[in-house]
Chains A and B, each alone.
Chain A
Amino acid sequence: MKQTVMSKKITGLLAVGALLALTGCETPTETRTVDSRGPDTINTSAINTQDWSNAADQLLASLLSSEALTNAPRTPAILAVDRIINNTSLMIDTDLLIKKIRVGLTQTGKVAVTNTLGLGERAVVASEAAELEEMQSGKKQKTLVPDYTLYAKLIQQTDRNSKLTQNTYSFQMSLVQVKTGLTVWEDEKQITKQTKAKPALGW
């Protein structure tokens, strides 16, 4: 009788072990595709995909609502992207913000971004093509002088108490009219993230 109970236990244990082993083999990692613009994206103390889009959307809405581009000398107005200063502790590609602003502004039809001037994205092939055109036609290509320049700065401020770490990211942006040197629009958007401090002992 004792032996029967014991053997049942052993069989049960083996079955559970086999089940665990099989389950383990089937799911080594689990990956799913989520909407990169949705609330299911991973939220960290850094700037995530949603934050970049959120900041770009707010800045764009502010610029377009300001009517600064309504008085542009031509349509589309020529815009050169100036310096984008990253004063955060994060190693980030500032195009995550600027490209979204550029795409938005270009789609309005009110702005065309120059790629041959400024510190923004440079179109190497376009510049070479222009040089080739100059060489073949013998005529100097006329480069359009920008009407506006766009300047941005990212700043991070970190505050801590015993329970929380708070990171505030400021996205500052200015639109400067080249002719006058005056800032015709500027705004600042902030995203604040609080992270609970980890306990001293992990167990």
Chain B
Amino acid sequence: MNKFASSLPAAALVLLLVGCQNVNTYENAESRATPNYVADKRVITDNTLAGAVRVVSINQATVSGNLLKIQATVENLKSSARTVNYKFEWFDQDGMAVNSPNEVWKALPLQGRESTTISTVAISPKAVDFKLKFRE
């Protein structure tokens, strides 16, 4: 029993060291960028996922003249590395889905406490709205 008890702190330390591969981030204090943020509506059906990975912000821009580009900043709220899947979907003025052969579920590996960006460009000028989906 004594041996078991004495090995517990060591095991906990190992677990702590293995689990903590967090990312430290540094950036300029006064950002020069002026992103066009999108006011987003969120539908959460997986609370565990929402508690682990958070969409910090979504901003949009127009590229190649008339194509919508969306960028989302995603943050891992946990100290352990994890991989989530995400997918963008596009919709036209009438709310009809604009199918794109390349909009697939993509794997996003995130380090502990890491914040990163994901983005995509609509291949049709008809695309005016988007949906961003996440799943484990």
Contacts and interface: CB of A to CB of B under 8 A. Distances in A.
Interface residues of B, number: 22
B105 A38 contact: yes
Chain A residues touching B, majority SS: helix
Q: Chain A, interface size: which category? A: 20 to 34
Interface stretch (B8-16, B44-52, B59-67): B59-67
Interface stretch (B23-31, B33-41, B72-80, B120-128): B120-128
A53 B105 CA distance: 9
B64 A37 contact: no
Given A53-B101, A64-B67, A39 B85 contact: yes
A114 to B, nearest CB: 20
Given A53-B104, A54-B106, A60 B63 contact: no
Given A108-B123, A108-B124, A100 B64 contact: no
Contacts of B102: 53-54, 56-57, 60, 100, 104
A54 B121 CA distance: 13
B124 to A, nearest CB: 5
26 contacts: A37-B87, A37-B103, A39-B105, A39-B107, A39-B135, A50-B105, A50-B106, A53-B103, A54-B102, A54-B106, A56-B102, A57-B100, A57-B103, A60-B102, A61-B121, A64-B123, A65-B64, A67-B64, A70-B64, A103-B101, A104-B100, A105-B123, A107-B124, A108-B124, A108-B125, A110-B65
